[in-house]
Amino acid sequence: MNNSFLCIGLDPDPEYLPHPHIPSFLQEIVDATSDIACAYKPNLAFFEALGLGGMQTLLESIRSVPKHIPIIADAKRGDIGNTDAFYARALFDIYKFDAATVSAYGGHEGIKPFLDYADRGIFVWCRSSNEGAADIQDLELADGRLMYEAVAEEARSWNSAGNVGLVVGATWPEQLERVRDICPDMPILVPGVGVQEGDLEASVQAAMDRRGEGFLINASRSILYSARNDGYAGAARKTAQKLRNRINVMREAALARR
């Protein structure tokens, strides 16, 4: 889609906003980049923190996203099955998101309510991009596997409908390569290439599947806040276009080396 593997995160941080009205700001970002992005990913935390009208603000903010471009709710929901049934209902039935990020900590019971929506995407939080990820995600299990490897293997077993993917940060390209080895045909959402300074080239090479596809590189702050003045939409477009093109060049180079 749009000759692009770039997913743009919609994370309105009041500290950096160049426009006081969040829906107007994000709609302008979308309008400026909708021919560049392959998906948009609003992080629900930024909207829930706005108070009672937060989710209405989110719905207004994504109103201009073209129907053919999927919207991923970065929600990282995960609980016992009964609770997750309501989480899934909210994200997919009420808010109509095309996909959502989820936590695997509750096991299959917690993920199943999301899996029941076979026409929606589920991205399992596997190896996060933050510095402290190793505290738990690299713990060694009794069988010698690391925790994130076990999560990847479980996610693979849950993918009977072909709608399950994984989230692995660009800040850990070696672990990203390992996850791709475990899940050769599943899509991988890769955050962390912008402000977190993940290795873009290594991540593209590690994340793409045997066809050179199956991955989404997410960037949020580095695109949204490219400029802090009235030219923010144009600046966001230039940054997104440059990143989209860099990803494509790196992908073609990686394919040529195979």
Strand partners, 8: 40, 219
Do residues 111 and 88 lie in contact, with contact meaning Cβ atoms separated by under 8 Å? no
Task: Choose among 83, 26, 30, 24: nearest CA to 237.
Answer: 30
Assign residue 256 a region (left: φ > 0; alpha: ψ between -120 and 50; beta: otherwise): alpha
Instruction: Please confirm, yes or no, whether 76 is among the known catalytic residues.
Output: yes
Q: How far apart are CA 187 and CA 100, in angstroms?
A: 13
Alpha helices (runs of H) in 126-213, residue ranges in sequence order: 134-137, 147-157, 173-182, 200-207
Name the token pair of 92. Answer: 């997919």
Give the active site residue among 76, 112, 238, 242: 76
Sequence-distant (≥ 6) Cβ neighbours of residue 15 within 8 angstroms: none
Do residues 126 and 102 lie in contact, with contact meaning Cβ atoms separated by under 8 Å? no
Half-sphere exposure of 206 (CA within 13 A, CB side): 22
Name the token pair of 84. Answer: 């997750």
Active site residues: 76
